[in-house]
Structure 1
Amino acid sequence: MSASPLLPLARRFWIALPAAGLIALAGCQTTPNTGANAVQNAPTTSTTAPAAAPLAPVTSVEGISEYVLPNGLRVLLAPDSSKPTTTVNMTYQVGSRHENYGETGMAHLLEHMLFKGTPTHRNALAEFARRGLRANGSTWTDRTNYFASFSANPDNLDWYLRWQADAMVNSLIQRSDLDSEMTVVRNEMESGENSPFRILMEKMLSTSFQWHNYGKTTIGARADVENVDTDRLRAFYKQYYQPDNAVLIVSGAFDVKATLATIQDAFASIPKPTRKLPNLYTLDPAQDGERSVTLRRSGGAPLVATMYHVPAAGSPDYTAIDLAAIVLGDTPSGRLHKALVDAQLAAGTFGYTFDMHDPGVVMFGAQLPPGADREKATAVLLKTLESLKTQPITAEELERARIKWLQSWELTYANAEKLGVALSESIAAGDWRLFFLARDRVRDAKLEDVQRVAQSYLVESNRTLGSYVPTEQPLRSPAPQTVDVAPMVQDYRGNPNFVEAEAFDPSPANLDASTTRKTIALPGNGTLQLALLPKPTRGSRVSAQLLMQFGNVETLRGKRDIADAAADLITRGTPTLSRQQIDDRFDKLNAQVRIGGSGTNVTASISTTRENLAPTLALVVELLRTANFPADQVEEYRRSMLTSLEQSLQQPDAIASRALARHGNPYPADDLRYAPSFQDDLNAIRGLKREDIVRFHQQFYGASLLRVSAVGDFDPAQVEGALTNSLAGWKAAPAYTRVPNPFTPVTPTKLEQETPDKANAFYIARMPLAVQDTSADYPALMLANFMLGLSEHSRLWNRVREKDGLSYNIRSMLRASSFEPSASWSMYAIYAPQNRAKLDAAIREELDRLTAEGFSEQEVKDGVEALLNYRRLSRAQDGGVAAGWIDLLEAERTYGFTGEVDRKLQSLTAADVNAAFRKYFDTTKFTSSYAGDFAGAAKKQ
């Protein structure tokens, strides 16, 4: 459920955003409609398809087929049996672009309301959670979509499709639901107010667009949302939530014939509407001069940014702008990074395009460290962007951008869940086939075209940053134009060599049976443990994990921050490779690699293709062995970390969480397990020296103990050979001993921290437990936590969010060690600071009621089914299985352990769960931490 505030869900994986500006999609929830024809339009619940001719595809592209029902509903089926998960995505072609005066936020509010229910499905979120569906929704400028992923299950697929059909025409949209949901929407608005980057972008969009609705936020004006007229909202719903304005996408593992029959049965009875959708024709004129906006608020790090109008996403010229954004905004190869970060004028840079149905924008910017010269950084930013005429894009830069773009596309295409969501963006831009057409355009992009388009649009008169300056002969950007996508995709068929992947059973027994596990003694220097699971995948993708471990709590005393920095800087350079060259080699290997770690551990997470896994692993080992930590990269790391820490000093969630972590921590400051203060971290980063990192690497990095897992399409012999060859001759690291984390009693208390001028507050509470994941009570505690606050059908969710509307997000979490009786039970929530007392009371009342009454048998039965579905879904993700094997190898287990937990969960009764809950859960043993502008809220009351 999300209000997709300002950043589209598209191809923005390669661009570095400001640390404080990462935009989480704002959450939404939704309710139903009591229109005059609500009951008569209800879709049939029959399980037998009507006696109509079976649907035939009207077009197919690379495994995706389009069907059309007589009422206008378009259906896209993208079967992929390689992973037993199914994703359903209903996309309505309505977003903030379609809102009229007084209607801002209406598309987003409808998304909230749809989840509230219909006469036959009164609480959709609860049903999703009960069935183990990972479901959500989001609203953006040109579309609203509702999606769910779940372990492949015909019954859940049938139920969810019928819910979508029911919600299309029978959503209630009642005044009472609007009133209860309003505080949740306000909470969502206020959570966005905490991000200076997000608000700056919001103000820049409103300044950049003079007439078009793209200048208005998706979440809407507060006055419009709070005063929304119910009848007007229902009319908006009836206008746009119709089959001829919707596209239904089903991707992943499912029976095509049976699914088509269900879709026809569920949706065909919905009549084709007689109304005509309005023709939206507003376009902004070409901008005649630079504009500017200045945002002043407390907290956060300085930012400078600029926007330029660009063509619509369906335009061939949009591809050129997309590639130019990578050339300019990528890290570390981008021109902005080199001009600003390398010159120590900025802590980080970014650049990305907004793919929109109508002409949109591209945005670039830089995050500055405290005390930086803002005017100088701004001047360098603009000079770098607007000097393409004299410093044209090179063939090398274009090729690097092309590789990055295509790699991100391939990762999306290979993932059935991501593919369904990505197709929504293409639908919103004009047609789902733009997803493939954009790929072809990137493959074929010519340097002269990228240069021409970027040079035309990145000009002074087309930017939003400066003030108006009269110019005798202004350089104007091209006038905006609409794009007719239909003729572009009319005969498009895509790659003729597309091949479907085979099905795979991810049950614990089959995961164990399909995985080769072995331990290899490395000649003279250590041990290599392998867990290799070859299986068919879409796009021949493979996920891998590498874990290197060394030292112990004593040998690493006083080295916590140095260990962290060494792991984070592994990819920054070697004696023979620069950071840019390392990045380019990974791109040419079609590999996404993340290396990091802390204390005794260094981990590499890898996603690549069959032919590239062996050389990627060899390159990772080469980096681990030969990293030399260039001085300029160490300095850049220091600046980036200091900027991030300075921002955290203003964030309620970071402040509350750190205060809780420090309370009762029994370890001295030089211990790996010590919880540092913000000032501790600032001092450590300021004092970080390259020679200390180099010395640490020389002393601790080596081949004593490595664990590697791989899941997907690969050759095990090639992987084993690449690892043994690349590890040969590497010195042994100091012997590894796991850092113990024993149960430590904590004196419960309440912690409170003021965060002035923050619209949102954060609450987190935690209780330590002497429990291990092998404890007899652990399965019952897992289920109790799931029903208490982990799902959207939990006790805390239903009370605090659904009933009282106090929090956009409230959860509980249970974490237990695999090695010793040490666990923690925690709860957290975001909320408005003036609602703190109400939040406390609601949580306390719900916990007291649960302790007294317990969970019911039906609640436990539904909870078991949903939790098992989530666990099955997690085992169907190749990356998750690869990471899981690393954990299992370390604990000397197999997936049979998870299967045994499943069996124990299935046997639980309400008596079992209630007994375990009452035995361990004690509200008097929780330490609570609050952070927010409580003083400011008190003054307003």
Structure 2
Amino acid sequence: MFVISVFHRYRIPLLLFIFSLIAAVLLKHPVSERQNLAIPQWEHSQQIFVNKKTNILTLTTRNVQKTMLENGLTVLTKEVHNAPVVTVQVWYKVGSGNEQPGMNGIAHQLEHIMFKGTKNRPVQFGQLFSALGSDSNAFTSYEQTAYYNTAESDKLKALLELEADRMQNSLIDHQQLASEKQVVISELEGYENSPKYRLKRAVLKSIFPDHAYGLPTGGTKADVEQLTVEQVREYYQKYYTPDNAVLVIVGDFQTPQTLETVEEIFGKIPQGQTLLPKPTPPIPQFPSSPIVLREPGAGKLLQVIYPLPDVNHPDVPILGVMDYILTGGKNSYLYQVLVKSGLANDVSAHVASLGAIGWYDLYVNTSPNQDLRKVEDSIKTAITKLLKRGVTSEQVKRAITQLTASVILNRRDITGQGMQFANDQLIAGDDRYTERYLENVRQVKSEDVIAVIKKYLKPEAQVVGFFEPQDNANYDHRPSTSVGTEENLTSGVTATPSDVIKYLPNLDDTNNKLNHPILQKLTLANGLRVLLLPGNSSPTVTLSGYIKAGKEFEENEQAGLASLVADNLMSGTKTKDALTIAKILEDRGASLNFTAQREGVRIQGKSLREDFSVLLATMVDVVRNSTFPVQELKLTRQQALNALNVELDDPYQVANRQFIQSLYPQNHPSHTFATKETIQRITQRDAIAFKQKHYRPDSMVLVLVGDFDVEKVRSLIENQFGDWRVSGKAPMVEYPIVVMTDKGVRVNSVLPGKSQAVTYMGYTGIKRQDPRFYQALVLNQILGGDSLSSRLGAEVRDRLGLTYEIYSNFQGGKNIGTFLIEMQTSPEDTNKAIATTRKLLKQLHQQGVTELEVETAKRTLISNYHISLSKPEQLTARILMNEVYELDEMELRGFVEKIQKVTKNEVNQVARQLLYPDKFVVVTAGPAIMAEVIGDW
């Protein structure tokens, strides 16, 4: 559950911004891993996709059916039969924009309460959803509150029953509200850890000082503390009615039968009795001077907000094109002015379009020694020059292509499609709004862009915010009071697995059969491995790759080298400079990224199907022919230093760094982390040498999933990679065995200006190839795989209200990784949360798990696995890492069977073998907390 202040990332005005945040959900946490000259020829690249041009503007909205029940409920349905999964979502037309003075946060508080149970099912709904194997969560924004669930299609009716139940029967009592207030405040204070959040809150408050849009969507602590049960109940009864909601169903189902079921379940819910007032549009205010925050932090931040019209205004599609011209990639106008020149580390922006108003949000991240007023003046000057010079038809065409491709590439799974339909219906009043939006985008001309820049990006119509970090170890902006409740929070009872089963709706007898894909594997003579999975579920191709050139190969004095090399692969090749490479991709709306991890470098790319050969050729060129130009390397090095500065101000990053370094000795590859000194000493010669040594075809795996002709792609790969030759054997690194200490370690790191503490607890775990991996997965799901339904979530978060998020995870790769528990708490609650976690671990270690817990966890893991295979990026990643870990070729379909075979005795045995609660390393980073020495468990 989370809040969204505005929609961003994908640069279209509605929900296309929301989906970019779904990876941040708190309910599910899967096991994870944290040269010869070749000149590609692109002139005939489109021939491998013959006659496959499609009207991509209607791909996601095609076959959407809208139905209105007599009680006013709007139902949107779309059949998608690519996999036996379905998404069920209920969106309410109410958000923080509806809140009255003194009640900021009530919409978000109610969203949390909606998981606390109903009169018919007085159990945590997160546990019910988990038992169904559903990937479920919720969020609150300015104009809507949404609840979404994606599960196997035989759970469709059960999901409908649960959502209908909490639409009318939610329990809202004193004890539930008191405990969930603490959780909400933990969440809000977690946001306070971010200087960017604090700056944006201040800027919006100055623009909308007398309107709810000027307040945080999640609420303020002062208002949340004062909310009463009566207020929350009244709000629920007023806004949570069928005539104020949209139900969306997308996936593997039959529409006629499903609509009958919807009528049966939702049709009997009475419509609301209150005429809901329309929100009053805010009147923007424009302070004469910048909003300045001088608080502890890392880099300097500049934020500029320009008010814009509402979502249905005809200028909105033009503004979307303008946004891409200004900040959409390395060829964008402001990137060249600010980042390329060295004035800024990064520039980003988005158009936020709501039902009543909108705004253009421009954000610049600079180094601590930069003058923010100089950066602001550079933006003003650049816009003035652009108005005089005009924009070219090439810039407009590129922006239209990027925007259109982003819609298709980020709407390829059913959850995202459902969100798009619901948000379009609620905010724009039309479930096909995005289709209309893109049709209008295609008509944008150069003169249209100049017109909207003149109209909206005026110096007198902007509000500017500066964040200037200050060094003050004694600074503490946290409110001194905690939640004022006298209720006995420990009297709550967490539902047992048998209680959960008792309250589950009846399930359909359908036995979902997933048609597991058949992979085609190609191994070139040079050792390069390629796996191909063709399919036409969307007109796109996803590329995922891996090169064994990770951080494990870094020398201590050159820590950061692997990342710097990966970040600079696209900075120039033997035939193209950085801007040319970026332009090739941006002209087609394609993306390609390289990220250095501990054991290897991950490659991620995606494009429309007709542009895939260009994407592949670009990847080949930069991997084989990168030259690391001095000026580009200098720029990237400075960006790395600035990123490190920010990282060392982030409690999560600091806790992770200290946890790993406390766990592994100095001679272990995992102990090494980049520092300012190690990054500064890296030279062009170092980068070239590292790349030549570790970027090899026999250390590389490539996976392609999507709409392509297999034989033609095989031929393309052989032609472009086949002549890549290297000598000798690929380098290897030995990981020494970590000897466990007899006593645990406790480390506290104080970060000024933070509101919440982040704690990591754990020790060494297992590698992916360990035969106990599947038992460990089940164990982890029971212990902390879900922030609501797991033992840790049910006790520490749901019953005691000590944290907004807590989860556990086995992180393993080709080498032994870690087992860790992560939590975010207020400093006053940190020690109690740690002590409670210790108690739960000791209980599990001594008493084990139950048969019902094991079966529920297995069902959840299997369902989540099937859901992941329906998402192109996750499917591609699974195929890739199965190959990297040298797992059996049948692992993709054999995973489910291996999980099904796990027994209770095996899980209990693994718990005793892998959990060492008396030897844990415990690291906390954040506000000052009382130091504690680990004692007896």
Equivalent runs, 1:178-577 vs 2, <5 Å = 178-284=177-283, 290-431=288-429, 432-465=431-464, 510-511=516-517, 514-521=518-525, 526-538=526-538, 540-549=539-548, 561-577=560-576
Q: Specify the alignment match of 1:757 in structure 2.
A: 753
Q: What CA distance in whole angstroms lies between the structure 1 residues aligned with 2:553 and 2:439?
A: 56
Is the 1:71–1:243 contact (alpha carbons within 8 Å) kept by the matching residues of 2? yes
Count of matched residue positions in the alignment of Structure 1 and Structure 2: 846
Structure 1 position 717 matched with structure 2 position 711: yes
Q: Does the CA-based 8 Å contact 2:750-2:925 persist in structure 1?
A: yes
Instruction: Report what 2:644 is aligned to.
Output: 645
Query: Are the structure 2 counterparts of residues 243 and 664 from structure 1 closer, same or farther at C-alpha, using a change threshold of 3 Å?
Result: closer
For structure 1, which runs of at least 5 residues remain unmatched after alignment?
A: 16-21, 30-59, 468-504
1:910 is the counterpart of 2:908: no
CA distance in 1, matches of 2:589, 2:712: 17
Gaps of 5+ in 2: 15-19, 28-59, 467-510, 933-937
1:928 is matched with: 922
Matches of 1:89 and 1:462 in 2, distance apart? 38
Q: Which has the higher contact order (CA 8 A, sep 6+)?
A: 2
Find out whether 1:75 has 2:69 as its counterpart.
no
- TM-score after normalising by structure 1: 0.85
Distance in 1 (alpha carbons) for counterparts of 2:843 and 2:878: 36
Q: Percent identity?
A: 25
* Corresponding residue number in structure 2 for 1:786: 781
Tell me the SS of whatever aligns to 1:12. coil
Instruction: Report how far residue 382 of structure 1 moved.
Output: 2.5
Deviations 1:633-663 (A, max 9, x none): 2122112111111112222221121111112
8 Å contact from structure 2 (residues 796, 802) kept in 1: yes
Does the 8 A contact of 2:569 with 2:626 survive in 1? yes
> What is the CA distance between 1:13 and its match in structure 2?
8.6
1:310, distance to aligned residue in structure 2 (A): 0.7
Supply the distance in 1 between the matched residues of 2:287 and 2:793 (Cα, whole angstroms).
49
Matched residues in 1 for 2:549 and 2:117: separation? Answer: 54
Give the match's secondary structure for 1:696.
Answer: helix
- Letter aligned with residue 735 of structure 2: N
Tell whether the 8 Å contact from 1:118 to 1:171 is kept in structure 2 after alignment: yes
8 Å contact kept, 1:3–1:28:
no
- Distance in 2 (CA, whole Å) between partners of 1:686 and 1:555 is 15
Q: What's the CA shift for 1:374? A: 2.4
Cα distance in 2 for residues equivalent to 1:599 and 1:932: 25
TM-superposed CA distance for 1:209, in Å, is: 1.9
Q: Is 1:142 the equivalent of 2:143? A: yes
How far residue 340 of structure 1 moved from its aligned partner, in angstroms, is: 1.8
Preserved CA contact (<8 Å) 2:304 2:465: no
Q: 1:778-833 CA deviation, whole Å, 9 max, x = no partner?
A: 33222111100012311000010001111111011123445x6x343211101111
Q: 2:130 aligned with 1:129, yes or no? A: yes
Q: Is the 8 A contact 2:93 2:144 kept in 1?
A: yes
- Residues 661-680 of structure 1 mapped to structure 2, 5 A cutoff: 661-668=660-667, 673-677=669-673, 680=674
Three-state SS of the structure 2 residue aligned to 1:735 is: coil
Distance 1:551 1:102, change over 3 A: closer
Partner of 2:826: 832
CA deviation string 1:46-102 (max 9, x = no partner):
xxxxxxxxxxxxxx9522111111111111112221233322221111111111122
Amino acid at match of 1:781: A
Q: Does 1:844 align with 2:838?
A: yes
1:772 and 1:24, CA in 2 relative to 1: closer, same or farther beyond 3 A? closer
What's the counterpart of residue 109 of structure 2? 109
Q: Is the 2:551–2:596 contact (alpha carbons within 8 Å) kept by the matching residues of 1?
A: no
Report the Cα offset of residue 423 of structure 1: 2.8
| CA spacing shift, 1:609–1:306, aligned 2, 3 Å | closer
Amino acid at match of 1:300: A
The CA distance in 2 between the partners of 1:793 and 1:693, in whole Å, is: 47
Aligned to 1:802: 798
Deviation at 1:291, TM superposition (A): 4.8
Aligned to 1:490: none
Tell me, yes or no, if the aligned pair for 1:310 and 1:321 is still in contact at 8 Å: no
Larger displacement relative to structure 2 (844-853 or 864-873)? 844-853
CA apart distance, 1:201:
0.7
Which residue in 1 is equivalent to 2:165? 166
The within-5 A match list for 1:619-638 is 619-638=618-637
Instruction: Determine the C-alpha separation between the residues in 2 that align with 1:602 and 1:339.
Output: 30
Cα distance in 1, alignment partners of residues 558 and 929 from structure 2: 39
Deviation at 1:862, TM superposition (A): 1.4
Q: Could you say which residue in structure 2 is the equivalent of 1:97?
A: 97
Q: C-alpha displacement at 1:384, in angstroms?
A: 2.2
How far apart are the structure 1 equivalents of 2:153 and 2:124? 21
Rate the CA distance shift 1:796–1:175 in 2: closer, same or farther, 3 A: same
Over 3 Å counting, the alpha-carbon distance change for 1:722 and 1:26 in structure 2 is: closer
| Deviation digits for residues 458-489 of structure 1 (CA, Å, limit 9, x no counterpart) | 1111111289xxxxxxxxxxxxxxxxxxxxxx
Question: Relative to 1, partners in 2 of residues 1:843 and 1:701: Cα closer, same or farther, differing over 3 Å?
Answer: closer
RMSD value over aligned CA atoms? 2.9
Q: What is the CA deviation profile of residues 418-452 of structure 1, one whole-angstrom value per residue up to 9, with x for unaligned ones?
A: 11223333234222221211111111112222211
Q: Tell me the alpha carbon deviations over residues 339-383 of structure 1, each in whole angstroms, 9 at most, x when there is no partner.
A: 222222211112212121112211213211121122212211232
Q: Shift in Å at residue 278 of structure 1?
A: 0.9
Paired residues of 2:107 and 2:140 also in contact (CA < 8 A): yes
Q: Report the CA distance between 1:211 and its aligned residue.
A: 3.8
User: Are the structure 2 counterparts of residues 937 and 463 from structure 1 closer, same or farther at C-alpha, using a change threshold of 3 Å?
Assistant: farther
Matched AA of 2:777: M
The one-letter amino acid of 1:298's match is P
What is the one-letter code of the residue matched to 1:681?
Answer: T
The verdict on how the C-alpha distance between 1:723 and 1:301 changes in structure 2, with shifts beyond 3 A counting, is same
1:481: which partner in 2?
none
| Greater shift in the superposed pair: 794-803 or 549-558 | 549-558
Query: For 1:410 and 1:518, how far apart are their aligned partners in 2?
Result: 29
Residues in 1 aligned to 2:350 and 2:127: alpha-carbon distance in whole angstroms: 37
For residues 519 and 735 of structure 1, the distance between their equivalents in structure 2, rounded to whole angstroms, comes to: 17
Q: What SS does structure 1 have at the residue aligned with 2:2?
A: coil
SS in 2 for 1:569: helix
Aligned CA distance change for structure 1 residues 543 and 777 (closer, same or farther; 3 Å): same
Q: State the 1:206 CA deviation.
A: 0.9
Given that residues 552 and 736 in structure 1 are in contact (C-alpha distance below 8 angstroms), is that contact kept between their aligned partners in structure 2? no
Q: Which residue identity lines up with residue 126 of structure 2 in the other structure?
A: L
CA–CA separation in structure 1 for the residues paired with 2:465 and 2:562: 44
**Contact 1:93/1:143 (CA < 8 Å) preserved in 2?**
yes
The letter for the 1-side match of 2:679 is: I
Deviations 1:890-937 (A, max 9, x none): 343345235444334323343332233123322112111111222599
Shift of 1:114: 0.6
Offset at 1:554?
7.8
Measure, in 2, the Cα distance between the counterparts of 1:711 and 1:288: 50
SS of residue matched to 1:389: helix
Q: Which moved more, 1:801-810 or 1:734-743?
A: 734-743
Task: Report the counterpart of residue 735 of structure 1 in structure 2.
Answer: 729
